[in-house]
Amino acid sequence: MKKNVTTTFCILMLCSLILSIGTVMAAEPGYERISYLTTVIPTIDGQWTTENEWTDGEDTWIGTDVFFTSTQDGDMTRWIVEFLTDTTNDPGDMWRFCINTGQSFSWKFEIYGHTDLVWYIGSADWTEMEEAFPIEWEDSLSTSPTSTTPHWILEFQIDKTDQFEFPDVWYFLLQVNDASNPTFLAWPPTDPENSDSWGTENFSTEAIPEGLTFAVMVLLTTVSMLVSYKYLVKRKETKTQ
């Protein structure tokens, strides 16, 4: 009876974790992340406005140079991007977001020189769009909890209520460039022109578990699977004896 309870608990725990993560459909293998529910609505001012801003997202790094996280709710999809090693204001500095929501075309948003946002629609052939896109963004040279050296920080949000809906799973590439030290850094480090090589973004309707990092969730899932498998093998051995 005790073993049955243990097995049931493990299976329920595994199912719960899988449901909370959502369906995982890899585009570029190894590049998958989750946008959890926004619990602290950020002020879009290009800096950490309060200490608890952006504590509700999954942290993702591009090497040690760039940090970003994202959250979402019924109205908005939000990002903060910190370019820790870009401390210079150059006209050629760039933020680039490439997004595909499972349709035959993608969106590309480029911010140059910390002043101008240009957006495109298409795939390999991009068409620049004239009309305003429901985006709010701001960046600044600021310090943050990650670094006390002033560096470029971008806050960027898309209004989902204005005809631009996101499914539960979509595809995404983030790229940055510091014109003082021209190197394009990206997540994933693949082709911005090919949406098949972008990363996979999963929306969760739940807040990020408090004190429970993604690494711990993966570890718990693995442990649950191992315990369940070990019990099932043992049960099979007992039956065949």
How far apart CA 83 and CA 154 sit, in angstroms, is 8
What residues between 161 and 190 interact with Ca ion by CB under 5 A?
178, 180
Of 59, 73, 90, 191, which one interacts with Ca ion (CB under 5 A)? 90
What six digits make up the tokens of 197? 């090589």
Residue 66 CB, nearest distance to Ca ion (Å)? Answer: 13
- Residue among 130, 201, 158, 128 nearest 44 (CA): 158
Residue type, 42: P
Whether the CB-CB separation of 107 and 128 falls below 8 Å is answered with no
- Residue among 83, 115, 79 nearest 97 (CA): 79
Of 93, 110, 139, 201, which one interacts with Ca ion (CB under 5 A)? 93
Residue number with CB closer to Ca ion (128 or 136): 136
Phi then psi for residue 5, to 5 deg, are: -65, -45
Which x/- pattern, by CB under 5 A, does the window 97-116 give for Ca ion?
--------------------
SS3 22: coil
Residue 179 CB, nearest distance to Ca ion (Å)? Answer: 5
Residue 223 CB, nearest distance to Ca ion (Å)? Answer: 37
Of 7, 20, 39, 49, which one interacts with Ca ion (CB under 5 A)? 49
Q: Does 65 bind Ca ion (CB under 5 A)?
A: no
Enumerate binding residues for Ca ion (CB under 5 A): 42-43, 45, 49, 86, 88, 90, 93, 178, 180
